[in-house]
Structure 1
């Protein structure tokens, strides 16, 4: 199939090549081209399925109309759904999205930032790892548009969009208490990231308010350990603390591993053990009994993130740093 060029568009529209170039580069009005001609050129470009040469466009404008998206694990349903909505929103605005997964590895995260800088992406959406603040500082010094998602660094003046993790954990724990659970365990990881700290604090404050807090019922798993090791560690934890009658898992991958540990021990949900997990997963809905979750507003997070990034890319030095906190939803199912 013949590649469509701006010359082809110019011939069909019966205008000059320069007119087509101005229109397709959003300079039509600035160059005094009438709205009727602008629309005609755009309609013909769409009809002919014109696709611009991205390399040539980048060399000419310094823009690639691309966004770098760095998340923890694109195979995790939470991040894959988030990425899908981000891509859909970016596509509406004429941007492509480059996906990268960090595996929560600081060194890999820093390397990915540098790779995307070399690819000359126009903006960054990042789920940062624990020590990525220096790389983000570099982006800010370079005046690169950047928005953090899911987590952030408290001392850094950068736009971010996150769920109210404290409130989500507080409400989930309170619900377990209302249902008569008294020895409620918390399963967290050892990453030390702000969202995990806030979730643990929400749990702790809710337990303390009820006079039920017991530090020995908190388990911190090694983030980088295998699922098998996580399952084994939880089995040992539950067998050591047989009075546990409720569990709050602070991420869906911990919840999925926890269900396997609970099954191997032979405990019945919810008769002997009520459970809630952060971040929904299709397996939680299919499980019998179905698993209650703290659901993040993924669509709202993704849409707001793209909007903030576009604001930075359009306004450049005139944008306002926004720190957005969205409320999650406790989805009550059969596991409590």
Structure 2
């Protein structure tokens, strides 16, 4: 019978306390003042002992649970729910089940979810990482867990990912406004350092700088974790302070949903008073009157490619090739510009 490895075994082999092992494996080593050398040693020993927390007996025998852990920002957001449907469909076709989880953009929640899925002994991870999740992704790589990032990634980290070409998307949307004659173009985004949002802003900025129309006072950055009502109020205040704005690019669909309510409160009509474009589609955007122009992501392609890359990692083991892919979005023209 295969002996179940515990953190007590790890502690003994690494010659440290059980508490130290617990802190390190829960990504709290640095926070608790544990030295880099000890953290590295604990990870090395746990990897050598093939440790995974609370592994299920069935997976100990087979090493496989035919399951995938899917961690996204918010499964209720239509972009992520549509992406999850594609991933689940592809996984089911390959006889895998998918565990869905949402981080809500919370780093601690994200770490807890990774630990829970490790306990469930999932065979691989597909992750939309939070801003502070780099160390946790590093940990999965240390444990040689198959992992593919989707929608965003960390610069300099060697891990496979599939994302939208966000810079090109921001530039395309802004240039469409310019082509239609708009000159005072605003950008509403969030204040995080997430790479996809930064690239969207950079693409927007380049398009306007190229024609001498860039003005950083027309960029509104909102905290991610504020309420919907707070978003509406802040967008309303921004538009009151900048009455000459004639077009607005929203960096995500949930931002436009708040923006539409702000515009309504202020009595602005679309597109006569303000033209709008949003990143990522939403069912309500097609139904809205006027319907909303969007920079759509190729969700089908992204979902399929993500599953394909994960399965290849599972098959190739430690010999897998790191693949980093950008997919081009498309401007879906409707009535809001």
Query: What's the offset of the Cα at 1:177?
Result: 0.6
In the alignment, the residues of structure 2 paired with residue 232 and residue 100 of structure 1 have an alpha-carbon distance, to the nearest angstrom, of: 30
Segments of 4+ moved more than 3 angstroms: none
1:334 Cα offset (Å): 0.2
- Structure 2: distance between partners of 1:156 and 1:63: 27
Q: Aligned equivalents of 2:240 and 2:262: distance in 1?
A: 10
CA distance in 2, matches of 1:56, 1:101: 27
Partner of 1:312: 313
1:135-188 CA-to-partner distances (Å, cap 9, x unmatched) read 000000111000000000011000000010000010000000110101000000
Deviations 1:45-98 (A, max 9, x none): xxxxxxxxxx66523211100000000000110000000110000001110000
Match of 2:249 in 1: 248
Q: In structure 1, how many angstroms separate the alpha carbons of the residues matched to 2:61 and 2:213?
A: 64
Q: Which residue of 2 aligns with 1:181?
A: 182
Distance 1:114 1:290 in 2: 42
Partner Cα distance (1:233, 1:131) in 2: 25
Using the alignment, how far apart are the partners of 1:90 and 1:108 within structure 2? 25
> Size of the alignment, in residue pairs?
283
TM-score with structure 2 setting the length? 0.83
Q: Quote the Cα distance in structure 1 between the aligned partners of 2:156 and 2:114.
A: 20
CA distance in 1 between counterparts of 2:213 and 2:183 reads 6
Q: Residues 1-80 of structure 1 correspond to what in structure 2 (within 5 A)? A: 57-80=58-81
Does residue 92 of the first structure (1) align with residue 93 of the second (2)?
Answer: yes
1:106-151 deviations in whole A, cap 9, x for unaligned?
1100111111111100000000000100000000011100000000
User: How far apart are the structure 2 equivalents of 1:287 and 1:211?
Assistant: 33
Separation in 1 of the partners of 2:143 and 2:102?
Answer: 23
Partner residue in 2 for 1:260: 261
Structure-2 residue corresponding to 1:101? 102
Q: Match for residue 278 of structure 1?
A: 279
Q: 2-side partners of 1:232 and 1:56: how far apart?
A: 53
Aligned residue in 1 for 2:327: 326
User: What is aligned with 1:206?
Assistant: 207
Shift of 1:328: 0.3
Give the match for residue 15 of structure 1.
none
Residue of structure 2 in register with 1:291 after alignment: 292
Q: Which residue does the alignment assign to 2:141?
A: 140
* Residue in structure 2 matched with residue 32 of structure 1 by the alignment: none
Aligned equivalents of 2:57, 2:113: Cα separation in 1? 24
Q: Structure 2: state its 5+ residue gaps.
A: 1-55
Cα distance in 2 for partners of 1:137, 1:159 equals 12
Q: How far apart are the structure 2 equivalents of 1:283 and 1:317?
A: 44
Give 5+ residue unaligned stretches, structure 1.
1-54
The 10-residue stretch of structure 1 (165-174 or 55-64) with the greater mean CA deviation from structure 2: 55-64
Secondary structure of 1:325 counterpart: strand
Do structure 1's residue 229 and structure 2's residue 230 form an aligned pair? yes
Q: Which has the larger radius of gyration?
A: 1
SS in 1 for 2:248: strand
SS in 1 for 2:69: strand
SS in 2 for 1:248: strand
2:130 corresponds to which residue? 129
Partner residue, 1:303: 304
